[in-house]
Amino acid sequence: MLRREEDPLKWDEAAEALKGSHFEEVKRMVEDYRKEVVWVGGEKLRVGEVAAVAGRMAAVELNEEARVRVKESSEWVMESVHKGTDCYGVTTGFGSTSHRRTTQ
């Protein structure tokens, strides 16, 4: 049986060599990628979280504040459409087709 002070795989040496590297950042990305749920609410998303969602490895949940903002935005879009107001990308094209209008 190995004694605690023995380190046949030289983990301490490897950890020392990685100081100042991006090791901690990569560990965080892996942790984020392994999340089952990514919460969205206005704060920044990290690379691992985006990769997990894009790869369909994690579900996305909106926090309550984000739900309220999404609902308000949706209501604004519907109200604008009913009024006949041009809404970029909704009742118009976007980019080079933004001059086109749609009623659908």
Q: Which residues are catalytic?
A: 88
Q: What is the dihedral of CA 68, 70, 76, 81, to 10 degrees?
A: -150
- Phi/psi of residue 69, nearest 5 degrees: -65, -40
Is-contact 36 59, C-beta < 8 A? Answer: yes
